[in-house]
Amino acid sequence: MQGNVSSPFFTIHTPTYKRVAYLTRLWEALCNQTYKDFEWIVADDGSDDGTLELLINLKKRSPFPVTIIAASKRVGKTTLDNRAIKSAKGRIFIWNDSDDFLLPGALDLIYNAWNAIPLSERAGYCGITALCEENGHIVSSPLPFSGPFDSTWSDLRYRHKVTGDMLYACRTDILRSYLPPEVDFYVAEGSFWAPIGAKYKTRILDKVVQKKEYQATNCITFSGKMKYCRGYVYTIAMSIGFSMPSNDKKFILSTSLLRQLITYFRYAIHGDVSMIKAYSMLPYKLPLLMFLSVLPFSAFFALKDIIQGKVSKTHLEFNSAIKSATFKTY
């Protein structure tokens, strides 16, 4: 049974920046969903390519509720994501980037999978995870089991060695408890996927529900520059230590953790985060000897980055933009 317009089951969220050419395709894919109980929140990051005008037109024609969050200038994905999560009416929240689109039966599959979990057990689940593909190829590595099965995201990645993109449909109430700090244009989703993925189970479907397109216009990733350094400091600080299998505490002494720490303090240097603050931000007390041993490596790589001209101080641009930006909701 589907819900009502004022309280839809799903919130589909699309952050977008200068992607006007993709939005009609995305909207049409939502119109073609066989499951109709959803809202669409689309957040425009100060685009100047006609995005807002198109979205207003799509909203007028839309058979489902549409909320447009429009920033007067670029403030970044994290700020817009947080606003969307706070205003979402849906029980389950799904990101659908502007260059991705859902297959017609996607929401039906996710809805039915969620309702297949016994009501008495749902408090221990964050949501549903399913497959994505690009150009006919599944973008994650093979799953360890066929058919629906349960796992934490942490165990899926570190015990079962599943890598690559998947669709994460997550309970909105849980996301609201893990909102990332707005310190840069981008704080990676790992800042909340890691702690959520360590605490809650997800039901995993071996079905493709979303088509992806990478390296499209104005991608956040795939840049030769080291951008969003302060954002990555907070991402790592919020996720490091959660990225271990739930039954493998030896990870804390592994070379994988050392590599993360070297990267962490390297980004802290570029993000103008003091070493004392970066140290205090870690979710556990790092032994002083380990802290002192990784710093020279972090400093070496940071210096190399600077000499090569790879660093972009995006957090300074963000600080300036967020002070003067305004937001309108349509």
Is residue 187 in some structural domain? yes
Quote the CA–CA distance of 235 and 184 in Å, as a whole number: 11
Which domain-ending residue is among 180, 205, 221? Answer: 221
Q: Are residues 41 and 139 in the same domain?
A: yes
Is residue 330 in some structural domain? no
Percent of the chain topping pLDDT 90: 79
Q: Are residues 240 and 265 in the same domain?
A: yes
Q: Are residues 145 and 193 in the same domain?
A: yes
At 192-203, the pLDDT tens digits run 888 999 899 999
What is the pLDDT at residue 124? Answer: 98
Residue 137 has pLDDT above 50, yes or no: yes
Q: Are residues 161 and 234 in the same domain?
A: no
The Cβ of residue 259 has, within 10 Å, a number of other Cβ atoms equal to: 12
Task: For strands 66-71 and 38-44, give the pairing.
Answer: parallel
Is residue 263 in some structural domain? yes
CB-CB contact of 210 with 26 (8 Å): no
Q: Are residues 122 and 72 in the same domain?
A: yes
CA torsion 188-189-195-196 (nearest 10°) is 180
The Cβ of residue 235 has, within 10 Å, a number of other Cβ atoms equal to: 26
Q: Are residues 103 and 216 in the same domain?
A: yes
Amino acid at 94: I
Q: Are residues 45 and 81 in the same domain?
A: yes
Say how many CA atoms lie within 13 Å of 306 toward its Cβ. Answer: 12
Residue 148 has pLDDT above 90, yes or no: yes
What is the pLDDT at residue 286? Answer: 82
At 316-328, the pLDDT tens digits run 999 999 999 999 9
Is residue 88 in some structural domain? yes
Is residue 328 in some structural domain? no
Q: Are residues 185 and 236 in the same domain?
A: no
CATH, residue 169: 3.90.550.10
Q: Are residues 241 and 210 in the same domain?
A: no
What is the pLDDT at residue 295? Answer: 96
Provide the residue range defining the domain that includes 153. Answer: 10-221
Is residue 283 in some structural domain? yes
In order of 65, 242, 244, 256, 280, the CA distances from 252 in angstroms are 46, 10, 8, 9, 17
Is residue 329 in some structural domain? no
Q: Are residues 200 and 256 in the same domain?
A: no
Is residue 308 in some structural domain? yes
Angle between helices 51-61 and 20-31 (to 10 degrees): 20
Residue 158 has pLDDT above 90, yes or no: no
Q: Which of 56-65, 203-212, 251-260, 278-287 has the lowest mean pLDDT?
A: 251-260
At 24-44, the pLDDT tens digits run 999 999 999 999 999 999 999
Question: What's the number of domains the chain is made of?
Answer: 2
Query: Which residues are CB-neighbours of 2 under 8 A, at least 6 positions away?
Result: 9, 35, 36, 37
What is the pLDDT at residue 93? Answer: 98
Q: Which residue has the higher pLDDT, 85 or 157?
A: 85
Q: Average pLDDT, stretch 178-187?
A: 96
Q: Average pLDDT, stretch 71-90?
A: 97
Residue 96 has pLDDT above 50, yes or no: yes
Q: Are residues 62 and 141 in the same domain?
A: yes
Which domain-ending residue is among 169, 190, 221? Answer: 221
Q: Are residues 175 and 196 in the same domain?
A: yes
Three-class SS string for the chain?
CCCECCECCEEEEEEECCCHHHHHHHHHHHHCCCCCCEEEEEEECCCCCCHHHHHHHHHHHCCCCEEEEEECCCCCHHHHHHHHHHHCCCCEEEECCCCCEECCCHHHHHHHHHHCCCHHHHHHEEEEEEEEEECCEECECCCCCCCCEEEEHHHHHHCCCCCECCEEEEEHHHHHHHCCCCCCCCCCCHHHHHHHHHHCEEEEEEEEEEECCCCCCCCCCCCCCECCHHHHHHHHHHHCCCCCCCCCHHHHHCHHHHHHHHHHHHHHHHCCCCHHHHHHHCCCCCCHHHHHHHHHHHHHHHHHHHHCCCECCHHHHHHHHHHHCCEEEC
What is the pLDDT at residue 54? Answer: 98
Which domain-ending residue is among 191, 221, 251? Answer: 221
Q: Average pLDDT, stretch 141-153?
A: 94
Query: Which residues are CB-neighbours of 263 under 8 A, at least 6 positions away?
Result: 236, 298
At 199-244, the pLDDT tens digits run 999 999 999 999 998 855 555 444 468 999 999 999 999 887 665 5
